[in-house]
Homo-oligomer: A and B are copies of this chain.
Amino acid sequence: MTGVLEQVEQFCLEHGLLHRGDRIVAACSGGPDSLALLVILWQLRRKYDLQIVAAHFEHGIRGAASKADADFVQAFCQQRGIPVQLAATDVPKEAAAQGLSLETAARELRYRFLEQVRQTAGFDAIAVAHHADDQAETVLMRILRGTGTQGLAAMRPRSGKGGTIIRPLLGVTKAAIRAFCAAQGLQPCEDATNEQAECTRNRLRLATLPALKQAYNPELARALCQLAEVAAAETEYIEAQVEALWQDTARVRQQPLALNQQGFSQLPLALQRGLVRRFWQAAAGSRQDLGFGQAEKLRLLLRVGQTSSQLELPHGFVARLAYGWLTCAQRPETAAAPAPADLQIPGCTQWGSYLCTAEWCAEIAPAPTPWELYLQPDDLAEPLVIRQRESGDAIQLPGGRKKLKKLLIDDKIPQQERDQLPILAAGHEVLWVAGHRRSTRCAVAFDRPLKRRVLYLRLERREEIYHDER
């Protein structure tokens, strides 16, 4: 068994993460993983002539504890003579202002800060501390939520725009990192990252993954990492082939963007699928939001479609086939709402293109987005249901009780959107117009400590979940 330092060095060389003279920003929260990463890079600096700067992002989510983490990282670096950069941001405030979830806002702001440090210093890369157990969790989470082989590839040793994000610890386990910290006498901060927002992932980490290991395979984490490794290489190869094809078959310099139908049906299935994804990415500006079923319909349209055939796609896009070319343009959406769904507590409930996650929790995060809700549902006579609006619906607001119909008119929700709103209700008592308004019935007070556990709900678009990038 070689030491963690040697394993990390070996991994970096294999994946081209480390070259002589590299200048690296080491992201450091102060927790065990990032502290180990910083120490390892610092120990390798002479051998590889590295320049290292540590960077700590104080997110302000946990008040005094956040400040203490920042002080710890600063003191740790000063003691060892490691250059360090610090930034403090009120993430909950930013999240609320931008309508993002706390975890999304924290991630985006943190990476923005790290990139800024890198660019200001003219450095090569940002090293982050994701390890093999993080990778295994990501792979399993994606499998459970639904993914193709690209999603399986999960986190790469090198990623980001221009390949500036590197993950030197991706090949070592959490246990090995903890052992390294102990052996080096490091005393990292507690790993109290944003428990609330990540609670689905925490459940996976603390309950599901250990149970699956015990029942099916003690080496499940390693198996998942290997699957990611295999999928990454295959995805990369296929994407390179698709990109070459795309250059030959797409009309990208003219409006509208178009894909040539000729020869498409003779391509191997994997390349047909790749080209369809590439087309959607170019047309819609993102490779997300196109489900497997829709992608297959689009592929079939290209393969056997007659001129003037067309297909409705997410976000109001319509694909049309005409004279051997496939085009794609946007138009306003109109769709029927799905049937009511009983809320699974705890668990996941699907309602049309939405997925609602419900969990009991003992702590609340300070600034829920409009797509998150805390509830104390004990005194309700009827079960909770997610559904479209119904006549007779009413909601309790701070200003008094109101008919839902009147509320939606007063709030200027366009007529054609009203039936698409996800409503959480008990009978005709509306508790939440998700993304929009909360009832004061069953509401949780944010300014007082919790006396008992409350229900935490989060609503997400399924297309977003199916393609979540970490």
Contact = CB atoms under 8 A, between A and B. Distances in A.
A347 B220 CA distance: 13
Interface stretch (A115-123, A210-218, A388-396): A210-218
B146 A217 contact: yes
Interface string A189-225: 0000000000010011000100010111111101110
A218 B348 contact: yes
A307 interface: no
Given A145-B223, A152-B227, A237-B268, 18 more contacts: A141-B216, A143-B223, A143-B227, A144-B216, A145-B217, A146-B219, A147-B223, A149-B227, A149-B231, A208-B216, A214-B344, A215-B346, A217-B348, A230-B292, A233-B269, A234-B270, A236-B268, A236-B269
A148 interface: yes
Given A146-B219, A217-B144, A238 B230 contact: no
A143 B143 contact: yes
A149 B234 contact: yes
Given A144-B216, A234-B234, A355-B217, A268 B240 contact: yes
Interface string A219-253: 11011101101110110111010000000000000
Interface string A324-356: 000000000000000000001011111000010
Most buried by B among A149, A212, A217, A236: A217
Nearest to A344: B214
Contact of A230 (B148, B200, B349): B148
A62 interface: no
